Amino acid sequence: MQTGTHLDREHCVRAVQSKDARFDGWFFTAVLTTRIYCRPSCPVVPPKPENMTFHPSAAACQQAGFRACKRCRPDTSPGSPEWNRRADLVARAMRLIADGIVDREGVPGLAARLGYSTRQVERQLLAELGAGPLAVARAQRAQTARLLIETTSLPMAQIAFAAGFSSIRAFNDTVREVFALSPSELRARVPGSGASTPGVLTLRLPFRAPLNPSNLFGHLAATAVPGVEEWRDGSYRRTLSLPYGHGIAALAPRPDHIACRLTLSDLRDLTVAISRCRRLLDLDADPVAVDERLRTDPLLAPLVDRGPGRRVPRTVDEAEFAVRAVLGQQVSTAAARTHAARLVTAHGKPLDDPEGGLTHLFPSPEALAGVDPETLAMPRTRRTTFTTLVRRLADGELRLGVDADWAEARARLLALPGFGPWTVDVIAMRALGDPDAFLATDLGVRRAAKELGLPATPAALTARAEGWRPWRAYAVQYLWATDSHPINFLPA
């Protein structure tokens, strides 16, 4: 399925008529007779094809004067996989908008982060999405507002402020326009709505099926840094550093969604917290497309068939992951956790966890840049690697955030002392989010390849993996699944 101005009408009609949930978030169906827009899997009787128009974003539908369907709630669809598989201007812009940059810094701030003019950014988003950055951010604010209306008992004025609206009037007008209901009417439709604890929200994070939670939550639990992360009662819990404050996320797999409980010091961080949790768990992936590609290799196909829907466990903080990758070079997972826990205790910002167990935010690059290298329990060469990395991150010379140019970030990482292909590729896979990053030198990957009859040398394995593009990072997850000790930070 293509996006932007290249929507294939015939494929879109077939997806709507078959109520195919795989395409939820890829595109939206606007019905000319009712002036309502839906997700492809909407349970109502499909409209006649001549009454359907198709748009690449909810913002485009809203800008064209269509209202969100009350049955299928298209505003709660999984995000489009396009924005996490590409590194071009539009994809980087969409990741930044999801991270709340337009609400905090406006469109000029978005353009500055991307290194383009405001006009260039607006023109490219309009061409591909049918809506500019302000319209996309407005649609996101509407979704956040609806979530707060339906899941909390906050006064509407506080909700408007938390969702990013500049005034109560803009909040009321947007909610009415998008949902054809007033904020009070939206709340009345949800019996017993309202949170009992201030700052705590419970919500569902949708995804495209299938989803195999074992690699996601198994990896996160096995590598959890004490004080920052923990696995408790079937949930992965961790602390979050956010633009306006801090938070704690508790995430648990369910058959058709991820149960998410957020405790936020400032509700203005809700949109960002949701975006980062979705990114952490790779929830906007298209597992059907990934698995279909990997099944074309007859030696890899049995692994995919055995446990389809594997995701790439990512991160909520790209700088944090880069630091942890260096701490884990040439040591066991347990030793890497110990190194990280010491840094957290010494340099992380303390916080209160109402449930106990979590104690700190992971220290920022700025905090780590002041660490005395002699206090680090690691070889001298790795101390140099660590101090160089955190200084580059702290002074902005190295950017690994959602706005990062993947090729530029890779080049800058490779130029750092102590950074070899393995470290660069694991950061590209889990921090930058490159779905085609490939760990050809990883011992676990090579061991699994040998067991399957695949080439085991890095060069030969890389050549074989050409047929797995653009999803080689997912192939790594399947290969790691064959290893009894799949989580090991090994060569640099």
Q: What is the layout of strands, in order, in the sheet containing 258-264?
A: 200-205, 258-264, 246-253, 235-241, 229-232
In our burial notation (b when 16+ CB lie closer than 10 A, e otherwise), range 18-57 reads ebebbbbbbbbbbbeeeebbbbbbbeeebbeeeebbbbbb
What is the set of active-site residues?
Answer: 38, 442
Nearest Cα neighbor of 309 from 242, 212, 401 is 212
What are the tokens at 341? 């826990």
Q: Please answer whether residues 182 and 174 qualify as being in contact, where contact means their C-beta atoms are separated by less than 8 angstroms.
A: no
DSSP 89-147: HHHHHHHHHHTTHHHHHHHHHHHHHHTS-HHHHHHHHHHHHSS-HHHHHHHHHHHHHHH
What are the tokens at 470? 């653009």
Within 8 A by CB and 6+ apart from 420, the residues are 441, 491, 492
Specify the residue for token string 């101005």: 5
Q: Please answer whether residues 270 and 240 qualify as being in contact, where contact means their C-beta atoms are separated by less than 8 angstroms.
A: no
Coil, helix or strand for 236?
A: strand
User: Which element (helix H / strand E) includes 183?
Assistant: helix 183-188
